[in-house]
Structures are given as structure tokens and as C-alpha cells.
């Protein structure tokens, strides 16, 4: 038997039901390509999301086969498939060194990938702010291959009563086909070619026929061609050498076809070249699949052809405001969004204008999913592969709501006096840096928390945690946990810090401490000097070369000058770190590191500051001036407009006729320092391990906080005030 925890909130006070059934989700290793049906804790339903119990999911043979092939490829083949990533790796090697780069790449490839995006199920729970759905509704969504999924409301659509779960599992694939058709803008009676007759291609054929178009389908597979013919298309069998251009010429009555929709998956650019040859003057070409894109100007110039690449399900795709925050586009301005495309496809199914049953080639139970992936990864024929899930009568909902997965038999294993930690958040930084640092420092790894369950499971397995959970509140009432590590998005930091202080647990929060002056005031008022410790991950001050600089500056008379240049690099405006409500912006979210660093080296309070920004969309190219109480001054040039091959961080210290220069926490050089010339490291060390080790030691030995609380408050206040001044929130 396993000890399991039921779904909980802040007030839950212990472990719940005993059971031996955990929900399963299909995961794939990008390192090896292997798939598994892993046991994960039940995901939590966030604001604007639906918690859905799956009944069917559809395996996307095209997309998921590509992922399998990438995972099974060797390192050289992986690199060949991603030349842009290779360039990023080479830049990182030049600035950070070989070993940190290799570790970062391996950490990325080591993370499991949840598979699937075609889900049908029943709503179990509604997140706050959700309207238009009710518990018990059947819905189609882009949820993963998992028994329970949590999906944003704009990526869900109700399934009409006349549509079966099998049919509804094709909704997302149908929306991809429909979006390609909307971009092609066909009219009644036009001649359209569909190149590639996989699932998307065959649904494209049916939707075009329903639109009143004449359709010509091209493929190498006789069985898929037969299906296209069944759906009303004329066909060209490429496997026997039929000429697609000549066939299109005859099909269009010598005029050239009006449009070509390419749904094939190939590295060749030939489908696009052929499409151009087939089209009439001012014809349209839409790429829905994946092909080479070596376009010939001659092909397009004479006919004035238009070419467009379709972005998946429709407007809203890849827009976090639409997909994650639930901000719909006004129907009067954007008639067909992702969600409305889902609804249109389901309506076509309900009206018998789309026939999905001939497209189902195989059915597997979830437990046999590995057979499904062996099928799509092999040479055998397949088309629509449907995964079937257990019904409520077979496995009640409550059984699937278990939110803790025990990873080790830890009865009595917690050592008194040890720093016993729970880590909230298991993203890239947590798994690449923070958790390894806590493990190296000797902390007892009790619990790791993630909202979706997958990343927490990975971190728990990899680093040896006792358990992983999606019930965040449980860690604050866990009797064995005496320290909470917060590694989540920035807008959640203040709440977790306050909760840890309230229940008397030490807290290590990855920067920033909070996002607003109001949150800062609440933390200051809640802090008890004799109570739990509050630590922010200002690791730069713990770096060995910074410690050396601090020792060299000790006893040096007079004011000092500090110049910190941060070649931060550009981050898109839509990235969550740039969102003031979620990430706080890059000044609060990252520049706080360097303000703390100069405050540490100056070893006196910040008496004043100034900030000047370069005009840009994101306000993340700024110069910060600091004035210290002893007359020293500091400058932080935080720049997003530089080159990646230049060192990311450079510190220069001018004092008493001497200079210290630190490049990227690898090379420290002294100019005019008696007895000191240089301190170079084989690998970059920004002090993360030493920072964590100091916190763990303070917890276990009852020592003072490694960073005085008043300094954390001072740096946080100055940083927030500067960010507000940049945005005009404060005069």
C-alpha cells in the first residue's frame, strides 16, 4: 500500500486516503525517444482552466512520430535537426564555458515531454473565472494523453450530443485543417489540391467538399488515396509515377488550380515547387504541414502567387493572453478563433458533414499505449490511433484525485536537525541549479511540488525526493518539512513567503522577494527576528571571486566606484518575465541581483538612486545609478540590445588607484593590487551552491540568516521603486 494525499488547500492538515491507484500520463524522453505510462499526481485546476477526466485521446501520427524520431536520433542527428539551437549552444560555450553548457543541454533533454494534444473527456472541476462550462459537460480540448488534464477554457469546446467520443477526439486535428482552409479562402466551385493525405489532409478534403469545392488529392499511399476518393476527391497516385502537375492541369480544365493546401510532412521543398506550378495566376498556396522552404522566386513572380504558413488551430494560437489568461478576441473583429474553430468542426461532425470512423485504424487502451507508439514508429500502416480510458464505473473520480506520489519508502528516514525541504516549483532553474545545490548541501529532499505533476515527477525521480505532489498547500502543514524553497513564477513569491512565515517554516525564495511595495510592507510587518528565516537567492554575493573582491576591498580607504555591465539579451515582450503582473519585468525580476551585489561590496546602505532607460517596447535596457552612504557610487548597465557572444556579466571595481575586473564569473584580474594579479576558474561559478549551503547551514545550526533581513528589504524596496519610476507609477 502507498500513503497518498487527497486534494488539499492551505488549511488541510494531514494525509488523506489510502489507495494504490494513481492517474497515468504518457511521457516521452527526448534523450532516448522511449515512451512510458507514468504515474503522476492529479494536476491542480488553475484560474481559467477546466479539470477534465479523459475518455479518448487521438495519437497524432505526424507530430508524435517526429518527436519519437527526434528522441531516438543520436546527438549529431539531433544537432542537425536544430541548427538554431546549435548556434545558441556555441554562444553559451564561449561565454559560460564548456561544462556549464553541456550540463544545461543535458538538463533540457533529460526533462520528459508530455505527449498528445487531441483530448475528449468530462469536466470534473472548474477553475475560478470560468464561465460557459459546467461540471459533467463533455468537452474536446488540446489536453495531453493523460487520465486527468487541466486545460485553459479557450482551448476547450462542448461536444454536441450526437457526436461520439471517438469522433470528437479528431476535433483539434480538424481545427488545424479548417484553419488552413480559412487562409486559402476557397469559394464555391473552386478547384483545390490537397498534397498529403494523412489525418489532416483527409479532413481537409472533407471540409473542402463540404465547402462546395472540387478537390484533387495527392499521396503515395493507395489506402489513403482510396479514402480521399471515398470522400469525393479526385486522386493522383504518386507511388506509380503519375505526374501531379499534369493531373492538376487537366483537373482545372487547363486554367490552373485556384489553391493548393500542403498537408504533407517532408524535408523536401518539392511540394511547394509543384504547388506553384499547379496554380493559376494569383493562386494561393497554404502550408499546413512541414516541408522544406527553399522557394523559387521564378515560381511565384510570374503568377503573383500568395504563400502563407498556417499557425495550427487558428487565431489565438501562441498568444498567452488568449490561451493562458482566457482573454477572448471580440467576435466582431476575429470571427474564427481556436475555440470557435473547435466548435465549427464539432458542428460539422454533428451534421454528418465530417466522417471520422473511416479514419480510425487502431484502438488501444491507455495501458497499451506503448504498442501504439511502436506502431507509429514502425513501418506498418496506421492512420487514426485512438487511446481509450477507463470509465467512472471502472475507476471512480475520487481515485484519480490523489495528489501525492510516493517515490521512496521514507518511514522514519527524516533526520532530526536536518534541513528538510519542500521545493515549490520544478522548472528549468529549479532542476538545473537549485535542487542540485540543496542536494549537494546535504539537505533532506522531502517533497517537490508542481502544478501539472509531470515536472515534479521528473525532479522527484532524478534527485531522490521522498514524494511529489500537486497540492501546494500540503507542504506548509507537513510536520517533517522545516524549510520551504520557492522556485515559481514571481507573482506567487510573496504569498508563499508570507505563508511560510505564518506557519513558522524557514523560506528560501528565488529572486525576487515580491513584486510590489504593498507586498514588501506585508512581509516586513510579518517578519519575526526570532522566528523563521527569510532568504532570497541573491547568489552573486556568495561567488568565490566576489568573496575575493570583498576581502581585497577590506581596509581600502575612501569611496569606491562599481560598474556592473549586464549583457542580458533580448526576451520577447510577450514572455511572462516581461509581464508586470506575473514576472514584474526584468528590473525587478533580474536586475535586483546586481543591485544586491553592489550593495554587498559597498557594505553600506543605499543613500539614493537614479534610473534611465532607452526607448524600447519592453523597458529592459536601462542604466541604474546608486549612491552609497559612504560616498561610493555604483552603476548597473542592464542591457538587452547586445550580442550573445559578448560576456553576459562584467564587474569593474575602481578603488584607491587600483582596478579589479571580473568577466562572467570566470576570470578575475587585478590591476595595481599589491600581491594579487588574477583568480581564474575552470568553470563559471555564480555562487549558487555556496548561497544554498549557507542557508542549509543556518537552518541546521540555528545561525543568523546568511543575508541580513534588512539588506533584503532594502534591495527589494530600491528595485521596486526604480521599476515603478520607469513606468511612471511613482513621481
**Higher-confidence position of 531 and 413:** 531
* pLDDT reported for residue 570: 87
In the block, cell 486554367 appears at: 255
- What value does the mean pLDDT take over residues 400-413? 77
Q: CA 361 from chain center: how many Å?
A: 32
Residue 350 — pLDDT band, cuts 50, 70, 90?
very high
Return the minimum-mean-pLDDT range out of 104-108, 289-293, 478-482, 561-565.
104-108
- Domains of the chain, first to last: 25-170+356-398 (3.90.180.10), 172-309 (3.40.50.720), 404-536 (3.40.50.720), 540-726 (3.30.360.10)
Residue 11's CB is within 10 A of a number of other CB atoms, namely 8
- What value does the mean pLDDT take over residues 396-403? 89
Residue 397's CB is within 10 A of a number of other CB atoms, namely 14
Helix (H, G, I), strand (E, B) or coil at 337: coil
Compute the distance between CA of residue 530 and CA of residue 503 in angstroms, rounded to an integer.
Answer: 14
* pLDDT reported for residue 32: 76
Compute the distance between CA of residue 653 and CA of residue 670 in angstroms, rounded to an integer.
Answer: 10
* pLDDT reported for residue 77: 59
Q: Using CA atoms in the order 327, 331, 336, 338, what is the torsion angle rounded to 10 degrees?
A: 20
* pLDDT reported for residue 555: 84
* pLDDT reported for residue 14: 34
Residue 1 — pLDDT band, cuts 50, 70, 90?
very low
Which positions ≥6 away from 411 have C-beta within 8 Å?
none
* pLDDT reported for residue 416: 77
Residue 54's closest CA among 117, 132, 130, 128? 117
* pLDDT reported for residue 109: 62
**H-only helix segments in 358-434:** 369-377, 397-400, 428-429
Contacts 24+ apart (CB under 8 A), 669-675: 670/552, 673/552
Compute the distance between CA of residue 560 and CA of residue 539 in angstroms, rounded to an integer.
Answer: 22
pLDDT tens, position by position, 177-218: 999 999 999 999 999 999 999 999 999 999 999 999 999 999
Return the minimum-mean-pLDDT range out of 30-34, 282-286, 400-404, 572-576.
30-34
- What value does the mean pLDDT take over residues 270-292? 95
* pLDDT reported for residue 389: 95
Q: What is the mean pLDDT of the chain?
A: 89
Instruction: Using alpha carbons only, give the angle 134, 315, 111 rounded to the nearest 5 degrees.
Output: 75
**Which cell numbers hold the place of 568?**
542580458
Compute the distance between CA of residue 1 and CA of residue 428 in angstroms, rounded to an integer.
Answer: 33
pLDDT tens, position by position, 598-611: 999 999 999 999 99
- What value does the mean pLDDT take over residues 33-48? 89
In the block, cell 531522490 appears at: 464
**H-only helix segments in 47-97:** 61-72, 75-81, 83-96
| DSSP, residue by residue, 498-550 | HHHHHHT-EEEEPSPS-SSHHHHHHHHHH--TTS--EEE--GGGGSHHHHHHH
- Is the pLDDT reported for residue 516 higher than 60? yes
Residue 8 — pLDDT band, cuts 50, 70, 90?
very low
Compute the distance between CA of residue 313 and CA of residue 140 in angstroms, rounded to an integer.
Answer: 13
* pLDDT reported for residue 18: 33
- Is the pLDDT reported for residue 377 higher than 80? no
pLDDT tens, position by position, 449-484: 999 999 999 999 999 999 999 999 999 999 999 999
* pLDDT reported for residue 453: 93
**H-only helix segments in 510-665:** 517-526, 544-553, 586, 592-602
Is residue 660 a contact partner of residue 549, using CB atoms and an 8 Å limit?
Answer: yes
Residue 238's closest CA among 251, 224, 257, 227? 224
pLDDT > 70 in the chain, percent: 89
* pLDDT reported for residue 12: 35
Taking the CA atoms of 522, 526, 529 and 533 in sequence, report the sign of the dihedral they define: negative
**H-only helix segments in 192-294:** 199-210, 222-230, 244-251, 270-278
Compute the distance between CA of residue 176 and CA of residue 528 in angstroms, rounded to an integer.
Answer: 56
- What value does the mean pLDDT take over residues 565-569? 93
* pLDDT reported for residue 5: 29
Secondary structure element (H or E) that encloses residue 181, with its range? helix 171-184
| DSSP, residue by residue, 132-165 | S--TT-EEEE---SBSEEEEEGGGEEEPPTTS-H
Residue 572's closest CA among 640, 637, 624, 646? 640
Is residue 148 a contact partner of residue 42, using CB atoms and an 8 Å limit?
Answer: yes
- What value does the mean pLDDT take over residues 678-688? 94
pLDDT tens, position by position, 68-111: 666 565 555 555 566 666 666 666 666 666 666 666 666 666 67
- What value does the mean pLDDT take over residues 264-292? 94
Which positions ≥6 away from 346 have C-beta within 8 Å?
140, 157, 158, 159, 160, 163, 168, 171
Residue 10 — pLDDT band, cuts 50, 70, 90?
very low
Compute the distance between CA of residue 466 and CA of residue 410 in angstroms, rounded to an integer.
Answer: 6
Judged by phi (left if over 0) then psi (alpha if -120 to 50, else beta), residue 37 lies in beta
pLDDT tens, position by position, 480-510: 999 999 999 999 999 999 999 999 999 999 9
- Is the pLDDT reported for residue 335 higher than 50? yes
CA distances from 491 to 88, 463, 494, 598, 699 (A): 29, 27, 7, 25, 26
- Is the pLDDT reported for residue 7 higher than 50? no
* pLDDT reported for residue 70: 61
Compute the distance between CA of residue 537 and CA of residue 486 in angstroms, rounded to an integer.
Answer: 10
pLDDT > 90 in the chain, percent: 73
CA distances from 406 to 208, 411, 460, 500 (A): 51, 11, 9, 23
- What value does the mean pLDDT take over residues 137-155? 97
Amino acid at each position: 500500500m502507498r500513503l497518498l494525499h487527497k486534494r488539499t488547500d492551505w488549511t488541510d492538515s494531514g494525509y488523506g486516503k489510502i489507495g494504490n491507484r494513481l492517474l497515468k500520463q504518457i511521457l516521452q524522453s527526448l534523450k532516448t525517444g522511449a515512451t512510458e505510462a507514468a504515474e503522476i499526481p492529479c494536476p491542480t485546476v488553475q484560474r481559467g482552466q477546466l479539470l477534465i477526466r479523459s475518455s479518448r485521446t487521438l495519437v497524432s501520427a505526424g507530430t508524435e512520430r517526429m518527436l519519437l524520431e527526434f528522441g531516438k536520433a543520436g546527438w549529431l542527428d539531433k544537432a542537425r535537426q536544430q541548427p538554431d539551437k546549435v548556434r545558441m549552444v556555441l554562444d553559451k560555450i564561449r561565454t559560460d564555458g564548456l561544462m556549464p553548457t553541456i550540463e544545461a543541454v543535458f538538463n533540457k533533454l533529460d526533462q520528459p515531454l508530455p505527449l498528445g494534444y487531441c483530448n475528449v473527456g468530462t469536466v470534473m472541476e472548474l477553475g475560478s473565472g470560468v464561465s460557459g462550462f459546467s461540471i459533467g459537460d463533455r468537452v474536446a480540448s488540446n489536453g495531453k494523453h493523460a487520465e486527468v488534464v487541466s486545460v485553459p477554457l479557450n482551448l476547450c469546446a462542448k461536444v454536441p450530443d450526437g457526436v461520439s467520443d471517438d469522433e470528437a477526439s479528431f476535433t483539434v486535428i480538424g481545427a488545424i485543417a479548417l484553419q488552413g482552409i480559412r487562409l486559402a479562402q476557397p469559394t464555391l466551385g473552386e478547384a483545390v489540391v490537397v498534397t498529403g493525405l494523412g489525418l489532416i489532409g483527409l479532413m481537409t478534403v472533407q471540409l473542402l467538399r463540404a465547402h462546395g469545392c472540387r478537390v484533387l488529392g495527392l499521396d503515395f499511399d493507395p489506402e489513403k488515396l482510396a479514402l480521399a476518393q471515398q470522400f469525393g476527391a479526385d486522386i493522383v497516385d504518386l507511388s506509380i509515377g503519375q505526374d501531379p502537375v499534369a493531373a492538376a492541369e487537366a483537373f482545372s480544365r487547363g486554367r490552373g488550380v485556384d489553391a493548393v493546401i500542403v498537408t504533407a510532412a517532408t524535408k523536401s521543398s518539392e511540394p511547394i515547387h509543384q504547388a506553384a506550378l499547379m496554380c493559376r495566376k494569383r493562386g494561393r498556396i497554404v502550408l499546413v504541414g512541414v516541408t522544406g522552404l527553399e522557394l523559387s522566386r521564378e515560381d511565384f513572380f510570374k503568377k503573383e502567387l500568395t504563400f502563407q504558413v498556417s499557425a495550427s488551430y487558428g487565431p489565438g494560437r501562441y498568444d498567452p493572453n488568449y490561451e493562458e489568461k482566457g482573454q477572448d478576441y471580440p467576435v466582431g473583429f476575429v470571427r474564427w478563433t481556436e475555440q470557435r474553430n473547435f466548435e465549427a468542426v464539432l458542428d460539422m461532425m454533428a451534421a454528418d458533414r465530417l466522417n471520422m470512423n473511416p479514419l480510425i485504424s487502431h484502438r488501444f487502451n491507455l495501458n497499451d499505449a506503448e504498442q501504439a507508439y511502436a506502431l507509429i514508429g514502425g513501418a506498418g500502416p496506421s492512420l487514426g490511433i485512438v487511446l481509450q480510458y477507463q470509465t467512472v464505473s471502472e475507476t471512480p473520480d475520487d481515485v484519480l484525485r490523489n495528489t501525492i506520489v510516493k517515490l521512496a519508502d521514507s518511514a522514519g528516514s527524516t533526520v532530526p536537525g536536518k534541513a528538510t525541504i519542500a521545493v515549490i516549483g520544478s522548472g528549468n532553474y529549479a532542476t538545473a541549479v537549485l535542487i542540485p545545490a540543496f542536494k549537494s548541501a546535504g539537505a533532506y529532499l522531502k517533497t517537490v511540488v508542481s502544478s501539472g505533476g509531470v515536472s515534479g515527477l521528473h525532479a522527484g525521480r532524478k534527485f531522490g525526493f521522498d514524494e511529489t505532489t500537486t497540492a501546494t498547500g500540503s507542504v506548509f502543514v507537513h510536520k517533517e518539512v522545516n524549510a520551504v524553497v520557492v522556485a515559481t513564477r514571481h507573482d506567487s513569491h510573496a504569498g508563499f513567503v508570507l505563508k511560510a512565515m505564518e506557519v513558522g517554516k524557514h523560506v528560501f525564495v528565488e529572486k525576487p522577494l515580491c513584486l510590489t511595495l504593498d507586498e514588501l510592507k506585508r512581509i516586513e510587518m510579518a517578519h519575526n527576528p526570532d522566528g523563521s528565516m527569510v532568504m532570497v537567492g541573491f547568489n552573486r554575493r556568495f561567488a568565490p571571486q566576489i568573496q575575493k573582491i570583498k576581502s581585497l576591498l577590506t581596509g581600502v580607504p575612501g569611496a569606491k566606484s562599481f560598474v556592473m555591465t549586464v549583457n542580458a539579451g533580448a526576451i520577447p515582450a510577450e514572455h511572462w518575465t516581461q509581464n508586470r503582473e506575473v514576472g514584474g519585468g526584468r528590473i525587478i525580476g533580474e536586475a535586483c541581483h546586481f543591485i544586491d551585489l553592489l550593495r554587498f561590496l559597498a557594505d553600506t546602505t543605499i543613500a539614493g538612486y537614479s534610473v534611465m532607460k532607452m526607448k524600447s517596447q519592453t523597458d529592459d535596457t536601462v542604466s541604474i545609478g546608486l549612491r552609497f552612504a559612504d560616498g561610493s557610487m555604483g552603476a548597473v548597465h542592464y542591457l538587452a540590445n547586445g550580442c550573445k557572444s559578448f560576456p553576459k556579466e562584467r564587474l569593474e571595481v575602481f578603488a584607491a588607484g587600483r582596478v579589479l575586473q571580473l568577466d562572467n564569473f570566470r576570470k578575475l584580474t587585478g590591476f595595481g593590487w599589491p600581491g594579487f594579479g588574477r583568480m581564474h576558474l575552470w568553470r563559471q561559478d555564480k555562487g549558487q551552491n555556496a548561497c544554498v549551503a549557507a542557508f542549509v547551514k543556518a537552518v541546521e545550526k540555528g545561525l543568523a540568516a546568511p543575508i541580513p533581513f534588512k539588506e533584503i528589504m532594502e534591495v527589494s524596496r530600491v528595485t521596486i521603486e526604480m521599476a515603478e519610476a520607469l513606468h511612471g507609477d511613482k513621481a
